Amino acid sequence: MPGAPVDSLKRVPLFAELDRREIEQIARLFKERRFSEGETVVREDTGGAAFFLIDSGEATVSVAGAERTSLHPGDYFGEIALIDEGTRSATVTAASDLVCYGLTLWDFRPLVQENGAVGWKLLQSMAKKLRAAEQD
């Protein structure tokens, strides 16, 4: 089936409450995007176009040049700029050859608006990030 692998999406906390049929619908909206090692995936302070789920490979997250964390298969990023239509809050760089599945903002917003469970998971994720930022 085209789109993101359903099994990968099932492991993403954001979609954990959804049944298989709903996940299959969402999976079809994703498109594969490949990045070479060292390539910038998203850049801090630029406008955001897509939300990404890592299928294989690793990436690093940095803010103002300081490395904060690394991302692995099953991790996702890029949702904040899509929610507030602001700029990217961090830079993500491919630490190895990276295969992601991306969901553009054109598909992301209707998905969240039409699916309360996804919206709730996003809120929880945002709340966790807010707490973490307050503790920094």
What residues line the site for another protein (CB under 8 A)?
2-3, 28, 31-33, 42-43, 46-50, 88, 102, 104-106
**Considering beta carbons, is residue 43 or 117 the nearer one to another protein?**
43
**Considering beta carbons, is residue 47 or 116 the nearer one to another protein?**
47
Minimum CB–partner distance for residue 47 and another protein (Å): 4
**Considering beta carbons, is residue 3 or 73 the nearer one to another protein?**
3
Write b or e for each residue in 20-49: b if 16 or more Cβ atoms lie within 10 A of its Cβ, otherwise e.
Answer: eeebeebbebbeeeebeeeeebbebeeebe
Closest of 4, 26, 5 to residue 15, by C-alpha: 26
Minimum CB–partner distance for residue 5 and another protein (Å): 12
Minimum CB–partner distance for residue 56 and another protein (Å): 16
**Considering beta carbons, is residue 93 or 121 the nearer one to another protein?**
93
Give the C-alpha distances (Å, rounded to integers) separating 21 from 27, 98, 112, 122: 10, 27, 16, 20
